[in-house]
Structure 1
Amino acid sequence: MRRALLAITGLAASTTALVVLKGTPGTSQAAQDRPVAEAPAVPGGSAAPESTPGGVTPSARPGATVKPSVRAGASRTPGARTSSATTRATTAAPRTTTSAPKVTTRTVTGPVVTYKYGSLQVRITLSGSRIVDATGLGMPLDGQSGLRSDDVQARYSGSSGEVVAKQSANLSAVSGATYTSTAYKQSLQAAIDKA
C-alpha cells in the first residue's frame, strides 16, 4: 500500500514538473528571440502593440502572453501567429480505492463434553470475529434428557439465540437443565477460544 502511494505521488510530481518545465504552449525559443519588428500579429488589428520603455513589446518578452481581442465578424489571417492565455494540462493521479476487506465466514466446533445425561459439542459460525450462529451437536434426543436438550437448544442456539446476543459463553442456566447447560457452555467456551 505504501509503495503504491509513493509511486502515485512520484508520478503526479514528475508530470507536474514536466508540464511546468516544458513551458507555455505557443511560446517557443524562436518566438522569444524574434525581434520587435517581427512581433506576432494581434487578431482584429493591423498594428503591432505599442512598445514599452526600452523598445520591447509585451509579446516579445520571453514568457509573456497577450490575450487576443476578438471582435464580432473579425477574421484571422491565415498563418498569423497569436499567443493566448496560458493553459496547463494536468493529469490527475489515478485514484486508489481501498475496498473494505471481505468478511469471511467460518465454522469452529468445540470439543465433545460428557456430562451426567450424555455428551454434546457446540459448533459456532463466525462472520469476521462475530458469532452469527450456534448449535449443539450430538445432544440426547430421547426421554427427559431429550426435553432438556430441546430447552437448551431453543434458548442458546440459532442466529437469534443467547450465544449470538451475548457473543460469549457467559450464558444464564436453563432452568431444569443445569447439567446440559453447563456442558453446552464448556464446549462453547472452547470453540470461542479456538476461534
Structure 2
Amino acid sequence: MRRALVAITGLAASTTALVVLKAAPGTSQVAQELPAGQAPAAPVPDEPSPDSSAAPTSRAPAATRSPRPERRASSSPTPRPTATGATRTSPTPRTSTAAPRPTVRTVTGPVVSNEFGNVQVQITVSGSRIVDAVAVELPEKTAQSARRSEDVNSRYSGTSGMVVARQGADLDTVSGATATSGSYRQSLQAAIDRARG
C-alpha cells in the first residue's frame, strides 16, 4: 500500500517538474496556466526508504498566474465601427399599421337620350367599389318629366342610393319613369365598364 502511494506521489512530482521546466522563460506559456490555489506536488526520490512516511519537504516553486476572467456573453451584439468611425447598426424594419388607401376616381358615362330628354350618370369609385353616383343630366322639359327625373335621381343616386347598395346597374325600374330609368341604367353601365376597363 505504501509503495502504491509513493508511486502515485512520484508520478505527480514528475508531472509538476515538467510543468515547472516548461514554464521557464522563452518557452510556451501553455504550461504556466495552472488553476489558482493548486500547488504542484513535491518531487519524490526515485527509491524511497521503507521507513519514510512523511512527504519530502523540498518543493518546486509554483507558477502563480491568475486565471483569465471569463467573458460574459452580452445579450446584444456590439456594433462594429465603420471606416469613418461611425457605428453601424442593423436597420430596424419599418412596419406600417395603416393599409394603403385605394385610388379614388370619378368616371362619367355617356349621354343617353330618350323621348323626354338626355340622361348622363357619373360614379365615384374607390378601388373597385362604387362609393357614389350622381345624375349629371336628367330630362326636365316639363314639370312632369322633372318630377319623374327627381324620383329616379333620389332612388338611384347618392352615397346611400341603389347604385351604391347594389354595386352595379341591376336597378329596379322607378314606377312612372320607365324611359328615364332605362337611360340611367345604360349610362351607369357604361361608366362602370369604363371604371373596370
2:36 corresponds to which of 48, 52, 56:
48
Shift of 1:34: 4.3
Backbone CA RMSD of aligned residues: 2.7
Matched, 1:37 2:24: no
One-letter code of the match for 2:71?
Answer: S
Q: Quote the Cα distance in structure 2 between the aligned partners of 1:49 and 1:127.
A: 80
Structure-2 change in CA distance of 1:36 and 1:129 (3 Å): same
Q: Quote the Cα distance in structure 1 between the aligned partners of 2:76 and 2:161.
A: 61
Cα shift readout 1:90-111 (whole Å, capped 9, x = no counterpart) = 4766325366332111100000
1:84 corresponds to which of 65, 71, 81:
71
- Greater Rg by CA: 2
Q: Quote the Cα distance in structure 2 between the aligned partners of 1:50 and 1:140.
A: 110
Matched, 1:170 2:157: no
Gaps of 5+ in 2: 1-27, 40-65, 78-88
Residue matched to 1:119:
118
One-letter code of the match for 2:153?
Answer: Q
- TM-score, structure 2 normalization: 0.58
Structure-2 change in CA distance of 1:34 and 1:128 (3 Å): farther
Gaps of 5+ in 1: 1-32, 40-46, 52-78
Residues 1-195 of structure 1 correspond to what in structure 2 (within 5 A)? 34-38=29-33, 48=36, 81-87=68-74, 89-90=76-77, 94-97=92-95, 100-141=99-140, 142-195=142-195
Moved more, 161-170 or 141-150: 141-150
Cα shift readout 1:37-81 (whole Å, capped 9, x = no counterpart) = 246xxxxxxx61659xxxxxxxxxxxxxxxxxxxxxxxxxxx985
SS in 2 for 1:140: coil
Residue matched to 2:42:
none
Number of residue pairs the alignment of both structures matches: 129
Structure-2 change in CA distance of 1:86 and 1:153 (3 Å): same
Q: 4+ residue stretches of structure 1 with deviation over 6 A?
A: none
One-letter code of the match for 1:135?
Answer: V
Identity of aligned residues (%): 50
Q: Quote the Cα distance in structure 1 between the aligned partners of 2:99 and 2:137.
A: 38
Shift of 1:88: 5.9
Q: Quote the Cα distance in structure 2 between the aligned partners of 1:179 and 1:35.
A: 104
Q: In 1, are the aligned partners of 2:162 and 2:171 still within 8 Å (CA)?
A: yes
Q: Quote the Cα distance in structure 1 between the aligned partners of 2:151 and 2:29.
A: 98
Structure-2 change in CA distance of 1:145 and 1:34 (3 Å): farther
- TM-score, structure 1 normalization: 0.58
Shift of 1:137: 1.3
